[in-house]
Amino acid sequence: MKKLAAVLGAMMLAGCVGPNPYVTPVEDRSNRQVTTPPPPGSVESVEPSPGVSVQPIEDVPVFRPQRETLPESGSINVAPTEMPASEPRNAAVVALLDTANRNTQGGDLRAAQNSLERALRIAPRDPQVYYQLADVQRRLGQFMQAEQVALKGVNVANGQPTELRRLWSLIALIRSDAGNGAGARAAQQEASRY
Amino acid sequence: MSKKRNNRKNSRSRKTSRSWFRALLGPLLKLSLVLAVIAAVGLIYLDAQVREKFEGKRWALPAKVYARPLELYPGQQLSAEDFRLELKGLGYRSVSSVSRPGSAHWNGGRVQLVTRGFPFPDGAEPSRNMTLEFGGQGLQRILDDRGRSLSLVRMEPVLIGGIYPQDNEDRDLIRLEDAPAMLPTALVAVEDRDYYSHHGISLKGIARAMMVNIRAGRFVQGGSTLTQQLIKNFYLTDERTLARKLLEMPMAVLLDLHYSKDEILEAYLNEVYLGQSGARAIHGFGMGSQYYFGRPVGELSLSQVALLAGLVKGPSYYDPRRHPERALNRRNLVLRLLHEQDKISDAEYEEAVAEPLGVVEQRSLQKGAYPAYLDLVRRQLREEYREEDLSSEGLRVFTALDPQVQSRAERAQSTTLEQLEKRYGQSAKGLEASMVVTDPQTGEILAVIGGRDSRYEGFNRALDALRPIGSLVKPAIYLTALERGYTLATPLEDEAFKLKLPNGDVWSPDNFDNKSHGRVPLHYSLSHSYNQSTARLGLDIGVDKVIDMLERLGVERELKPYPSLLLGAQALSPLEVAGVYQTLAANGFRMPLRAIRSVTDAQGQELSRYPFALRQEVDPALVHLIQYAMQEVAREGTARYVYSQLPPNLNIAGKTGTSNDQRDSWFAGFTGNRLAVVWVGRDDNAKLPFTGSGGALRIWTDYMRREHPEPFYATRPEKVEYVWVDDATGLLSDQRCEGSRQLPFIRGTEPKDSVDCGQLRRSGNPLDWFRSWFQ
């Protein structure tokens, strides 16, 4: 209901303006003023801005016929591709992660790093590999790299809440180790979303 | 009296002789004393020399450069055929029953083998006797000799090259115990029969040689012992002077005095010259074995040992590749000597004599097969190491080169270029090409081809050919636009325009088909590579912003802010392009492309490493959108050709590029685990009879067809939503409406107004209809 009310309000406001064809294009044009003047000495326009003209969105509704049959997701020319359900972790990767864990516990961080890089080549889409690698780099004091590797982990962990929570917590830890308190809190907040 | 006289007489004569003697004795004594002192000093000096060189660092050892080791694990996408090639590259013998390292026995989809093991910097991989089972899905199981299954095994890496010292001597040091026992035996039998009994020089040997020479009437045999030969090669120069000859003998005696026969023999094994490969001189039996048989010396058969031992006398005269007949005779002579001296049995002799030479083709050797990749490795090494250390300290360099990827890329390039020449005839003569292949997940460089002749150690086009990149620049422009608020559905104007440049020229870009296409959605403009809409878009957002994006994506070269940059006038090398596309493939994480994994010293101690490193440069959600449009390039845009050859589930993302006047043909694109950049053109910059899709794309596609890569999965970031939009207007639409397609949007930027195909009038309730507008 709230949404509807808001919508109705917006409609009424729009109604006040009338059928202005130059209203609400999707994209943000605010930067246009900034970018139009060409960099000094490079470009001078001989026409009025050759940039994109925004299509007026008119009140006239656009009609389209309906499809006889619905396109299946698979037959769409360009499909939004989702990862296939994550496969069980390969025994080789398990072995490497274990070795890395042992090395980390034993303080041999270089060896751990080596094992994890081997694991990364075999399973570059496994968030756990990034998690452990980032943690090793954190212990090595390479906070910048540690955070970036963890962020890459977040990227590959799309749609896996448990992994995302762990990775964001790790990022919080990395940031606080690096003395970035505000960043750590932000990351912790991010972690609590999952 | 007479006696006295006689005595006197005698004494007088004795006196005279004695005085003569005495007169001589003094100076003689002095002289010989002086001579003795000189000789002694000389000997001490020689002795010091002999010992110093023998005990110090004996040889300048070239750095060894290795390919990536093949990792084996169940579930790996590795076909039996691929593994067969890997074993071939490593010089494994195919045998009926395996026993020794470096041998393999194939039985259908199963192979039993004994690996050699390898001292990797992160730990030694032991030699294993194991069985691999291959199936339709690749490698299924690995079993050790007791039937237990193994989860991960690393093969030894292929040695792909070295960095040689000034004299171009290449050697691979071995210890005496690494050599087959028959090797020293054969050497002694054929070169120096009395080796174990003489003291550095052999009078018997010299006498025997003289007899032989007199009988033959010419010089056929030298009397040099192995020790003298070592002295000659190891300590002395090549000049044939008397002084050298005179030094040789005492030095040989001294050497023999100080060191054991085995120590001297070991040095001999490593010093001896065994052949020539271009500028590279093959020294020692370790390298000789690799050069002629493609495997370690310890794995050589009797006949192969005999051939190498026979080669010592004249590596070029008996060169088994150039003069197989002579080599065979020489080898059999060595075998006969061994047999005569009862070193081998009748049966062994018969078997060995009957064997072919067994020398591998020089072309099949891995060493020297990757000049372009090695060039890249060398350049990266020079940033950290001194040239003399690289060529003398025996460093080990572990790279990411994948010989199988390289070989597929080379085959794809050469066959496609031949097809292009056949198809376009004269106008396609003299084509050149180069290629870079990386792993988009790790940023490792897997293969580099520097030109048409992939074995040519010359101009490396992958690194040094700077060519205008044409439309390869477009994803960077569109990504900049997306970052500044555009969406994939934003309509662009594909219309002609004129732009006056500071130098007075007027710039008016044209489309490839010389037509303007009016209003087109942004994604469509990219996938169909329209120039006018792109140039307008680029000018609108600002060339400097585009440059900033290119730099974030990985270009380090200084870029000039000319509007022509928007259509790819900027020249880059294929490697630089790979760096940019790597960032696009890795969801906006920029990683330095790496060829080297680590460097160790000769003892395996790690000196430097090049770890996985990355930095997020662009929001992954925005990169997701551009990846969508780059997939559209392959599905329905300028790179449609790929799906006529490749499976539809690969989700290829890429971009074609053609430079002005069609001088350069480019394609850069990626799948899940392979990114490849291909350039085709001419060194003289002449016009090509085809575009990016007609040339480079063909090579790219053929390569991927051979590679069987993993599909590219673009996982949807949380910020991104897929909605159905109307193609023509960019308005919201519905799956049920004609002319609609699903497009990804950053949440909140999707269009608000919708087309109407009746999809909204499901229920009779007008409020529902009204509400559904805004869902």
Convert the pLDDT of each residue in A92-112 to its tens digit: 999 999 999 999 999 999 999
Indicate the DSSP class of residue B44.
H
Per DSSP, the three-state class of B717 is coil
Say yes or no for a CB contact (<8 Å) between B713 and A159. Answer: no
User: How far A92 CA sits from the closest chain B CA (Å)?
Assistant: 5
Contact between residue B436 and residue B670 where contact means Cβ atoms under 8 Å apart: no
How buried is B118 (Cβ within 10 angstroms: 0-12 exposed, 13-18 middle, 19+ buried)? Answer: middle
* CA gap A88, A28 in Å, rounded: 44
Strand B103-107 relative to strand B93-94, pairing? parallel
Positions of chain B with pLDDT under 50: 1-5, 763-764, 769, 775
By Cβ distance, the residue of A76, A148, A158 closest to B615 is: A148
Name which of A35, A70, A79 is nearest B545 (Cβ-Cβ). A35
CB contact (8 A) between residue A91 and residue B152: yes
Cα distance between residue B373 and residue B463, in whole Å: 10
| Cα B353 to Cα B667: distance, rounded to the nearest angstrom | 54
* Exposed e or buried b per residue across B639-669, where buried means at least 16 C-beta atoms within 10 angstroms of its C-beta: bebbeeebeeebbbbbbbbbbeebbbbbbbb
Residues of A in contact with B755 (CB under 8 A): 61-64
- The residue ranges of DSSP E strands in B545-701, in sequence order, are 571-572, 589-590, 596-600, 606-609, 615-616, 653-658, 664-670, 675-681
From CA B499, how far away is CA B508, in angstroms rounded?
6
Nearest of A80, A118, A78 to residue A98 by alpha carbon: A118
Structure tokens at B556: 């380090």
Question: Is A61 within 8 Å of B545 when comparing Cβ atoms?
Answer: no
Contact by Cβ (8 Å): B18, B11: no
Catalytic residue (choose from B191, B410, B483, B576):
B191
DSSP 8-state assignment for residue A63: B
Phi, psi angle pair for B274, to nearest 5°: -125, 0
Q: What is the pLDDT of residue B7?
A: 52
Distance from CA of A112 to the nearest CA of B (A): 10
Cβ-defined contact of B499 to A96 (cutoff 8 Å): no
Q: Which among A135, A122, A133 is positioned nearest to A91, based on CA atoms?
A: A122
Can B525 be counted among the known catalytic residues? Answer: no
* pTM, full prediction: 0.84
Residues of B with Cβ-Cβ distance to A76 under 8 angstroms? 741-742
Cβ B653 vs Cβ B634: under 8 Å = yes
Q: Tell me whether residues B543 and A42 touch, CB distance under 8 A.
A: yes
B711 and B672 Cβ atoms separated by less than 8 Å? yes
Give B15's contacts (C-beta < 8 A, 6+ positions apart): none
A76 burial type by CB count under 10 A (0-12 exposed, 13-18 middle, 19+ buried):
middle
Selecting among B471, B573, B693, B754, the annotated active-site residue is: B471
Q: What local confidence, expressed as pLDDT, does residue B249 receive?
A: 85
Residue A70: list chain B partners with CB under 8 A: 735-736
| pLDDT tens digits, one per residue of A48-102 | 444 454 555 555 678 888 887 776 554 334 544 555 556 678 899 999 999 999 9
Confidence of residue A120 (pLDDT cuts 50, 70, 90): very high
CB B86 within 8 A of CB B67: no
Residues near A11 by beta carbon (within 8 Å), at least 6 away in sequence: none
User: Searching chain B, which residue's CA lies closest to the CA of residue A117?
Assistant: B612
Instruction: Check CB contact under 8 Å for B616 and A148.
Output: yes
Which of A4, A62, A137 would you mutate first to test chain B, the one with the most B CBs within 10 A? Answer: A62
Would the CB atoms of A38 and B439 count as touching at under 8 Å?
A: no
Tokens of residue B585, six digits: 């493939």
For residue A110, the distance in angstroms to the closest alpha carbon of chain B comes to 9
SS3 per-residue string spanning B185-238: HHHHHHHCCCCCCCCCCCHHHHHHHHHHHHHHCCCCCCCCCHHHHHHHHHCCCC
Q: Which residues neighbour B79 within 8 Å (Cβ) at sequence distance 6 or greater?
A: B134, B138
**For residue B302, which of B361, B262, B365, B347 has the smallest C-alpha distance?**
B347
Task: Tell me the CA end-to-end span of chain B in Å, nearest whole number.
Answer: 158
* pLDDT given for residue B556 in this prediction: 95
CA angle B649, B523, B566 (to 5 degrees): 115
Run of H or E residues at B623: helix B620-635
CB contact under 8 Å between B75 and A71, yes or no, is no
Q: Does residue B151 have an active-site annotation?
A: no
CA distance B565 to B549: 13
* Closest CB from B123, B716, B736 relative to A158: B716
Q: How many angstroms separate the first and last alpha carbons of chain A?
A: 28
Distance, CA of B77 to CA of B157 (rounded, Å): 19
Cα–Cα distance for residue pair B172/B168, rounded to 1 Å: 13
* C-alpha distances in Å from residue B468, one per residue of B253, B372, B527: 68, 21, 20
User: A38 falls in which pLDDT band (50, 70, 90)?
Assistant: very low
Asked whether the beta carbons of B385 and B53 are under 8 A apart, the reply is no
Q: CA of B414 to nearest chain A CA: how many angstroms apart? A: 29
Query: Cα distance from A192 to chain B (closest Cα, Å)?
Result: 16
The pair of structure tokens assigned to B217 is: 């009437």
Q: Angle at which helices B242-258 and B226-234 pack, to 10 degrees?
A: 120
Choose the mutation target among B508, B539, B587, B710 for the interface with A, i.e. most A CBs under 10 Å: B539
Q: Which of B567, B719, B485 is nearest to A54 (CA)?
A: B485
Question: Alpha-carbon dihedral of residues B89, B91, B92, B94, nearest 10 degrees?
Answer: 100
Domains of chain A: 91-192 (1.25.40.10)
A70 and B561 in contact by Cβ < 8 A?
no
Whether residues B715 and A156 touch (CB distance < 8 A) is answered with yes
Q: Which residue has the tokens 């489309």?
A: B511
Query: Which one of B70, B73, B152 would you mutate to disrupt binding with A, by most A Cβ within 10 Å of its Cβ?
Result: B152
Show Cβ contacts of residue B574 under 8 Å, excluding neighbours closer than 6 positions.
Answer: B434, B435, B436, B461, B462, B463, B465, B677, B678, B679
Q: Is the pLDDT of residue A45 over 90?
A: no
| Phi and psi at residue B129, to the nearest 5° | -100, 115
